[in-house]
Amino acid sequence: MATSKDILNELANEYEIAKLIVEYRELEKLKATYADALPDLIEDDGRIHGNLNQTVTATGRLSSSDPNLQNIPIRTELGRQIRKAFVPERGNKLISADYSQLELRILAHMTQDEVMLEAFRNGEDIHAKTARLVFGAKTDDELREKRRLAKIVNFSIAYAVEPYGLSQRVGISKTEAKKLIEDYYETYKGVRKYMEEIPEIARQNGYVSSLFGRRRYLPAINDKNATVRARAEREAINMPIQGTASDIVKIAMIKTDAALKKAGLSTKMIMQIHDELLFESAEAEVEEAMRLIKAEMESAVELAIPLIVEIHAGNNWMEIKD
């Protein structure tokens, strides 16, 4: 009997034993990776001090190691419980400031797609818009059902997904996925143009760049092997988006830290999790710190559409991400 994660998740809908195996495996991993391991890493000051690495990823994203604090679970209810263990000192609060749909906003800016730009400028739900325009959702029930799929498609397109990959993520046939991608490009024509032009630019220059000049060299972009070349083309498409997101977050980190110090606040940045910044703040200055952090992050750079930051404060990391 096959016992891979995907197969077990399918079987769990019908068989109680499969459901129990899925739950057991998740608990076993959480216990070994986090519940047992993290306490041993606590230092004398009661904190865990991981590393943030500047030069590990090809796109410029920060990575985390020893331990990887960017990988604390959030997708499942059981996994989120681990975040309860991350708390501020007595008398303090944690603040989470998270860019909303940062890579999709960058995609809109870089492609100058009019439909996408209009949606973000008007404060529309981009996933709901895709559900209506691409999936044809009309009623509220259809919108609820199709929005989930539209969200997968929106983010997948930014990573230059191919029909097979999309079919696996959405649970449709490869033929249906191919048509879905075509319908998406018919709706967002600027995105199609970007997807076609960027690999050609990479072929000419040998590299692609973020908006701020960060380069990723792609020696395989002209490879004779079609599979190798196709992978380099996907990297060429994604790097300017993900690299720009990384640049924006780093700029925001510098500006926010400087603004907190200038304001005389004791609030300190304690972690970066890609598009999210985590702070520890004295209770008495939480509201002022939140206003300042949100303002600095949203004005970190100027794009064709606004940057939006969702910000919350609470007593532990799980509480502020729920």
Phi, psi for 37 (deg, rounded to 5): -85, -40
Q: Domain-by-domain residue ranges, the chain?
A: 1-36, 107-239
Query: What confidence tier does 12 reach under pLDDT thresholds 50, 70, 90?
Result: low
Return the CATH architecture of domain 107-239: Orthogonal Bundle (1.10)
Query: What confidence tier does 52 reach under pLDDT thresholds 50, 70, 90?
Result: very high
Q: Comparing C-alpha atoms, which of 161, 223, 153 is closest to residue 187?
A: 153
Residue 186 has pLDDT above 80, yes or no: yes
Q: Comparing C-alpha atoms, which of 245, 126, 232 is closest to residue 188?
A: 126
In this prediction the pTM is 0.90
Average pLDDT over residues 145-153: 90
* Rounded-to-integer distance, Cα 165 and Cα 153, Å: 11
Residue 200 has pLDDT above 70, yes or no: yes
* Rounded-to-integer distance, Cα 157 and Cα 160, Å: 5
Query: What confidence tier does 306 reach under pLDDT thresholds 50, 70, 90?
Result: very high
Q: What are 246-296's pLDDT values in tens digits?
A: 999 999 999 999 999 999 999 999 999 999 999 999 999 999 999 999 999
Q: What is the mean pLDDT of the chain?
A: 92
3-state secondary structure the chain: CCCCHHHHHHHCCCCHHHHHHHHHHHHHHHHHHHHCCHHHHCCCCCCCCCEEECCCCCCCCCEEECCCHHHCCCCCHHHHHHHHHCCCCCCEEEEEEEECCHHHHHHHHHHCCHHHHHHHHCCCCHHHHHHHHCCCCCCHHHHHHHHHHHHHHHHHHHCCCCHHHHHHHHCCCHHHHHHHHHHHHHHCHHHHHHHHHHHHHHHHHCEEECCCCCEEECHHHHCCCHHHHHHHHHHHHHHHHHHHHHHHHHHHHHHHHHHHHHCCCCCEEEEEECCEEEEEEEHHHHHHHHHHHHHHHHCCCCCCCCCCEEEEEECCCCCCCC
pLDDT for the residue numbered 322: 65
Q: What are 90-115's pLDDT values in tens digits?
A: 999 999 999 999 999 999 999 999 99
